[in-house]
Amino acid sequence: MRRIRRILVAVKDPLARSSPALTKGAQLAIALGAQVELFHALADPLIVREGDRGAASPARRARGEAEAAREALERVAARIRRHGVDVHSHALWDHPAHEAIARRALGTHADLIVLERHGGPHRVPWLLSYSDWEVLRLAACPVLLVKSARPWRRPAVLAAVDPSHAHAKPARLDAQILEAAAILRTALHGRLDVVHAYSPPLLIDAGDPGAAAYAGLVAGAEEEARQRLDALLARSRIGAVGRYFSRSPAPAAIAAAARAARSSIVVMGAVSRSRLRRLFIGATAADTIDSLEADVLVVKPGGFEADLPRRSRGLSVLTLRATVS
């Protein structure tokens, strides 16, 4: 993971009295000496009633709403600047919101997107259109999904790795996850733990004469997992870390380790299991994020390219036609 120099904080409501994403984006900027942009996409259609001659023109209304959003963002930016942070604010008409956020991050060469995770469980993430998931799907840079309103205070950071490279996971991704987790640990003066969920041999009938041999295979699988993790950590040179191993599926294993370690941030990678790899994240990542109470930093494999139009879609106008009774 490259050094975090530019952070884009996606602001859903510039008039909100508080925003965990803003708070934690500012915390990271202070800790890392990074520049911040507060970005708001005016993505809802501008509603125009047919025949309403007394109203301002759509273009004038659009300019007024954009300017009001910029002023609101600038008030927030002024508060953050008091802490010595280089802060910029930007609001524009573009839709849909997730595309606008990913597009802005790409255009400004952001190293990190920070946004709040909205809504309940995403049961079928590739069929839904929640902005947080769509940003995660499209963004080329890492994305921090803020799930907790509590500010960080020497947070425990948990890195979820898989040195077995299950499901053709890129080997380099584990190194990126550990690097990102180590950056957060150092910058926020926290602690770093690592979790590895490995697959044991298939269970056989306990009454089978080979049950004792199976127990030996299970022990061997755990030892092999420990050796793989030891080798990965040795290559990463990140120093002492807490270690968690589990034979449970990855979502349950990571959630259990996060609870045990009292993790405030979980760092994980997202790899699609589909041939449509640029269209949605994998089900394992989706289930894991839903199961966590901690904030989640999602890292993508190196070389990932954002699959979205580079040009803003601009203002969307919805005309309500008059009805004749």
**Whether the bond into 96 is cis, omega within 30 of 0:** yes
pLDDT in tens, 148-185: 999 999 999 999 999 886 655 666 889 999 999 999 99
| Spatial separation of the C-alpha atoms in residues 251 and 255, rounded to whole Å | 6
Contacts of 317 (CB under 8 A, 6+ apart): 45, 46, 48, 58
250-256's contacts with Cβ under 8 Å and 24+ in sequence apart are: 250/160, 250/162, 250/197, 250/284, 250/288, 251/284, 251/287, 251/288, 251/290, 251/291, 252/291, 253/195, 253/197, 254/158, 254/160, 254/195, 254/197, 254/288, 254/291, 254/292, 255/288, 255/291, 255/292
pLDDT in tens, 269-291: 876 544 444 434 556 677 788 88
More confident residue, 209 or 64: 64
Mean pLDDT for all residues in the chain = 84
| Domains, the chain, ordered by start | 1-140+307-325 (3.40.50.620), 147-304 (3.40.50.620)
124 falls in which pLDDT band (50, 70, 90)? very low
- Contact, 161 vs 177, CB < 8 A? yes
pLDDT in tens, 73-111: 999 999 999 999 999 999 999 999 999 999 999 999 999
Helices (H), the chain: 20-32, 58-81, 97-107, 131-138, 171-187, 211-236, 250-261, 283-291
